[in-house]
């Protein structure tokens, strides 16, 4: 009888876990380091302070600081690109057999579906009147960071309904975070 978990399954599983960890760390590090509330009013200075990182500022004529949401999307794309590169290495590996290649192709399909769902959810949330948002889908979990000074119960309900309708993620697995 064949072993259920061979080297191939372990490699693919490791790649999928690495992708999940990369996306989570990207979200966690971006969320905790950008967009902190400003407790001191800004003074005249040539460089923006850490408290102003969530705002789009014209630093000089050539550079414009990106908003939290733009930066979060860039970081998410970068993490995904790195994960796709890892999976492509498995696909391009001449030593990989059909089972490994099929698992890698499945991983890419899962990532593509998550990307499509995230984009659709973001567009629909913005269509409901929110200024901006960024969505992270990882398996059966979804985190939504939405630009809002004060989220009401109705707002969170709208967002949860959109996420559930577009991704079939259960409401208890949806985390909604307001960001000013």
How far apart are alpha carbons 16 and 162 in whole angstroms? 26
pLDDT tens, position by position, 9-51: 666 666 676 666 666 656 655 654 444 444 444 444 444 444 4
What pLDDT is stored for residue 180 in this prediction?
A: 82
pLDDT tens, position by position, 43-84: 444 444 444 444 444 444 344 456 888 999 999 999 888 888
CA distances from 1 to 12, 43, 100 (A): 21, 72, 19
CATH no., domain 7-38+46-179: 1.10.287.4300
pLDDT tens, position by position, 132-170: 999 999 989 999 999 988 889 999 999 999 999 999 899
């Amino acid at each position: 009888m064949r072993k259920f978990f061979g080297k191939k399954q372990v490699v693919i599983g490791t790649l999928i876990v690495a992708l999940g960890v990369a996306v989570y760390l990207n979200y966690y590090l971006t969320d905790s380091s950008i967009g902190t509330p400003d407790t001191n009013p800004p003074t005249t200075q040539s460089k923006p302070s850490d408290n102003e990182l969530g705002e789009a500022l014209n630093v000089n004529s050539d550079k414009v600081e990106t908003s939290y949401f733009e930066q979060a999307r860039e970081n998410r794309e970068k993490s995904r690109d790195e994960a796709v590169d890892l999976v492509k290495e498995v696909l391009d590996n001449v030593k990989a057999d059909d089972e490994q290649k099929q698992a890698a192709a499945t991983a890419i399909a899962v990532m593509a579906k998550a990307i499509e769902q995230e984009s659709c959810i973001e567009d629909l949330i913005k269509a409901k009147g929110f200024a901006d948002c960024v969505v992270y889908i990882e398996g059966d979990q979804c985190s939504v960071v939405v630009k809002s000074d004060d989220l009401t119960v109705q707002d969170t309900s709208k967002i949860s309904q959109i996420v559930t309708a577009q991704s079939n993620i259960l409401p208890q697995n949806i985390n909604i975070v307001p960001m000013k």
